[in-house]
Structure formats: C-alpha cells, structure tokens
C-alpha cells in the first residue's frame, strides 16, 4: 500500500500539487467562515461548547454538546442554563441561574448553581465576588446534542491523538486525487 502511495506521489506534477493545497485551504477557510458566522448570528463568543464536568448531571454529561445564544437585550431569568467565565479563569462553566435581582435601570446580578451540586456557586466565584453579572455570561444554552463533544475532550486529554489525526488528515488531503 505504501509503495502505491509513493508511486502516486511521484506521478503528480506541480499544478496538481498546488491545486490540492488550494482545496485544502478552501476547506479550512470554509470551516472558519462557518464558525465566525455562527459567532455573529448567535451573539456569543463561543457558540458551541462541550460540557466538561458532571455538575449538571443527569441533564448533561461530560462530552455533550451545547449550542449557545447570547441575546444581550433579553434579560437573564431564573431557570436558564448559562455558560459563564469567572474573571481570571479560562474555563467556561455551565450551570443554572438560581436567583436574579434586577434594578430599575437594567443592571442585574444573579447567582448560579449546578444541578448536581449540593451548594450554589459562591465558592466558585472569584474571592470577594458574590454575584454574577451579564458581562460574565458567554451565552445561554438553547440546543443540546449528546456525546458528540467526546471527540474534543479526548483530543484535549491526549494531545498526541490530536497531532496524529491532523497529520493523517493533512496527508490524505494532499495525496488524494479528488
């Protein structure tokens, strides 16, 4: 099999090679366009997230996929599942809103709690922080797909797998005739 692959490689001329590279570039930029387009349409900086912890079981398990929207003009209400980031930390947290206090001028603060946790999230917030504000919210979960995100988790936990997959993909696209 390796012998036939090497033969094919030698037979390709320069034009075909550049054509393959261009096709590869088209695929990558299409993916990027779809991702950025989703960011604009949903208003969220991260329109698709993978659930990383088991704090929302049995609704969401590790590896489930969530589709987020972030309509800044719709106020946050209790019961909504929000994805937020604590200032200074990168990891987004997916929990449910437990309390909302909103003032006349529109400023609001709220408290969250994971369904599977015994206590609310005050212990997770930054030291001295008692409430979350709409600024901390990355988006609200509107759609759900089970298991699909496991691929992302496996690639993050075993970086060698990520490089192997990317290398195989790159090789395949560059060599394959179509």
Residues marked active site are found at: 55, 95, 121
Specify the DSSP class assigned to residue 136.
G
Which span (16-24, 39-47, 55-63, 149-157) binds another protein, by CB under 8 A?
55-63
CB of 13 to another protein, least distance (A): 26
81 binds another protein (CB under 8 A): yes
Read off φ and ψ for residue 93, nearest 5 degrees: -115, 135
Task: Single out the residue of 54, 71, 146, 170 in contact with another protein (rule: CB under 8 A).
Answer: 146
CA atoms of 149 and 143, how far apart (whole Å) = 13
Q: What percentage of the chain's residues is helix, strand, coil (to nearest 5)?
A: 40, 20, 40
Determine, following the binding rule CB under 8 A, whether residue 175 of this chain makes contact with another protein. Answer: no
Please name the helix (run of DSSP H) or strand (run of DSSP E) that holds residue 99, with its range, or none: strand 93-102
As a whole number of angstroms, the distance between CA 102 and CA 119 comes to 23
Residue 84 β-bridge partners: 93, 137
The structure tokens listed for 23 are 């096709």
Report 18-47 residues binding another protein (CB under 8 A).
none
- Can you tell me which of 41, 99, 158, 176 binds another protein, judged by CB under 8 A? 99
> Reduced to 3 states, what is the DSSP secondary structure of residue 117?
coil
**Alpha carbons 140 and 67: distance in angstroms, whole number:** 8
**Closer residue to another protein in complex, CB, 39/151:** 151
By the rule CB under 8 A, 141 interacts with another protein: yes
Closer residue to another protein (CB): 143 or 170 = 143
169 near another protein, judged by CB under 8 A: no
From candidates 3, 79, 88, 127, binder to another protein by CB under 8 A: 79
- Positions in the binding site for another protein (CB under 8 A): 58-60, 77-81, 96, 98-104, 108-109, 115, 120, 122, 130, 141-146
């Amino acid at each position: 099999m390796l012998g036939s692959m090497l033969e094919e490689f030698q037979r390709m001329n320069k034009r075909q090679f550049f054509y393959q590279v261009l096709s590869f570039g088209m695929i990558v930029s299409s993916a990027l366009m779809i991702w950025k387009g989703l960011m604009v349409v949903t208003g969220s900086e991260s329109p698709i997230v993978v659930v990383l912890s088991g704090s929302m079981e049995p609704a969401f398990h590790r590896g489930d996929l969530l589709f987020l929207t972030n309509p800044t003009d719709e106020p946050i209400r209790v019961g909504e599942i929000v994805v937020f980031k604590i200032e200074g930390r990168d990891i987004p947290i997916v929990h449910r809103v437990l309390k909302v206090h909103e003032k006349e001028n529109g400023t609001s603060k709220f408290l969250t709690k994971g369904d599977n946790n015994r206590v609310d999230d005050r212990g997770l917030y930054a030291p001295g922080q008692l409430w979350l504000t709409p600024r901390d919210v990355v988006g609200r979960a509107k759609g759900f797909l089970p298991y699909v995100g496991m691929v992302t988790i496996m690639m993050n936990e075993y970086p060698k797998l990520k490089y192997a997959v990317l290398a195989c993909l790159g090789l395949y696209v560059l060599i394959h005739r179509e």
